[in-house]
Structure 1
Amino acid sequence: MREIKFRMYHLELKNYFENGTDINSIAYNSQFEMIDLNRVLWEQYTGLKDKNGVDVYEGDVLWTGVDYVYISFKSGAFVVISGIEDEMALSEYPIDEWTISGNIHENAHLLEEQ
C-alpha cells in the first residue's frame, strides 16, 4: 500500500511546508504562527521516488533525459504532463529513471524553454 502524505505550497509566502499528514503539525509554521490553509495548495505524494530516491509529489518538475515534464493529479489519477504528449498516466512512465529538477511553482520556466 502506498504511503499517504502531503506537502503544502503557500501561495503568498511562496514556500513549501512538508510536515506529513498531521493537520496540527502543518497548520503552524516553524515560528508556531498559524498558516491560513485557504492560501495553500495541497500536493500529494505519488508513492514513487525519482532516480536519486527523492519522493515525487504532484507539482514536481522532472527531467526525463530528453525534456522536462511535471506531475499533476487529474480525474482521480496522477498524470505526467509534457508539451509533446500533453498528459499520460503516471504508471506509463519510468519515473525511477528520471530526476526531480524543481516544482511547477518555482521552476515553470523549465517547461517553457522546450
Structure 2
Amino acid sequence: MREIKFRAYSKEKCEMFKSEDVVSIDFTDKMIELYRSDDGLYENPDSRWETLYLDELELMQYTGLKDKDGAEIYEGDIVSYNFFEFSFIGVVKNDCYCFYIEDVFDDTHDFDDFVDTTNGTPKCDDLIVIGNIYENPELLEQE
C-alpha cells in the first residue's frame, strides 16, 4: 500500500510547503495546519505553526513513486523522460483512478499511465522530476 501524503503550494505567498510541513488537512473546515521544519528561520517555535485555508492553496498528492534520482513524484510535477530517440516532458496528473503523465509538447501520444509503468514505457526509474507547474511554469513553454 502506498504512503498517503500531500505537499501544498500557497498561491498568495508563492511558496511550496513540503509534505513534512503538512501536519493535518481538515476537509470539513477546509483548513490545513502547517509546521515549518526549517530550524534556522524561526527564533520562536510557536511562529513555525501556521493555519491556511484550502482555497488559498493547491494540494498535490504523492504518487507513491520516486524518480531516477530518488525524488518523490507528486501530482503537478514536471517530469522528463529520455530513452534513445524517444523523449518527452510531461505533467503528472491525477485521475480518479490513477496518476498519469500528460505530454506537454507531443500530440502523438496523449499520456502514459503510471499504472502500466512496470510493464511498459516510461518506467518511473527513467523519469526525472525537473520542476513543478507552480514554481517552474516556464518549463511548459515550447521553444
User: What range describes the TM-score normalised by the shorter chain of this pair?
Assistant: 0.7 to 0.9
Q: What TM-score do the two structures reach when normalised by structure 1?
A: 0.84
- Tell me, what secondary structure is at the counterpart of 2:70? coil
Q: What is the aligned counterpart of 1:90 among 114, 125, 132?
A: 114
The residue identity in structure 2 corresponding to 1:91 is V
Q: What TM-score do the two structures reach when normalised by structure 2?
A: 0.69
Q: 2: distance between equivalents of 1:6 and 1:33?
A: 16
- Tell me, what secondary structure is at the counterpart of 1:63? strand
For 2:54, the equivalent position in structure 1 comes to 37
Contact 1:48–1:96 at 8 Å: present in 2 too?
no
Q: Which moved more, 1:34-43 or 1:94-103?
A: 34-43
Matching of residues 43-82 of structure 1 within 5 Å? 43-65=60-82, 66-82=87-103
Higher strand share: 2
Contact 1:27–1:37 at 8 Å: present in 2 too?
no
Unmatched tracts of structure 1, length 5 or more: none
CA shift for structure 1 position 96: 1.4
Larger radius of gyration: 2
**Aligned Cα RMSD in Å?**
2.0
Q: 1: distance between equivalents of 2:128 and 2:100?
A: 16
Identity %: 33
How many equivalent residue pairs? Answer: 113
Which structure has the higher relative contact order (CA within 8 Å, separation 6+)? 1
Q: Which runs of 4+ in 1 moved over 6 A?
A: none
